Structure 1
Amino acid sequence: MYDQTRAQQAADGPDGLAGRRAPGPAPLLPSDARDKIVQRLGRALNTFPDAPRESLEEAEAAFDETTALLMDALAERRRALRAGWQDQDPETQTAELHLALRQYRETAQLLLRL
Structure 2
Amino acid sequence: MTDAKDLTPREQAIGGGAPAPAPAPAATPSPATGSPASGSEPGPVLLRQDERDKLGLRLQQALSTFVESPRQAVEEADGLFDDAVRHLTETLTQRRHTLRASWQGHDTEAHTEELRLALRQYREATERLLRI
Q: TM-score range by the shorter chain?
A: 0.7 to 0.9
Partner residue of 1:93 out of 101, 107, 111: 111
The structure with more helix, counted as a fraction of residues:
1
**Does 2:86 align with 1:63?**
no
User: Quick one: percent identity of the two aligned structures?
Assistant: 46
Aligned twin of 2:61: 43
Instruction: Spell out, residue by residue over 1:29-58, the C-alpha distance to the aligned partner (whole angstroms, 9 max, x if none).
Output: 111001111111111111100010110011
**Does 2:72 align with 1:72?**
no
Partner residue of 1:103 out of 93, 106, 121: 121
Flag as ranges the 4+ runs of structure 1 deviating above 6 A: none
Structure 1 residue 93: Cα displacement: 2.5
Which stretches in structure 2 are left out of the alignment for 5+ residues?
A: 1-34
Structure ID, larger Rg: 1
| Corresponding pairs, count | 92
Which stretches in structure 1 are left out of the alignment for 5+ residues?
A: 1-21
Give the aligned residue type for 2:102: G
Q: Distance in 1 between matches of 2:93 and 2:54?
A: 22
Q: Which has the higher contact order (CA 8 A, sep 6+)?
A: 1
Structure 2 length as normaliser, TM-score? 0.66
Structure 1 residue 95: Cα displacement: 1.4
RMSD of the alignment, in Å? Answer: 1.4
Q: Distance in 1 between matches of 2:52 and 2:128?
A: 16
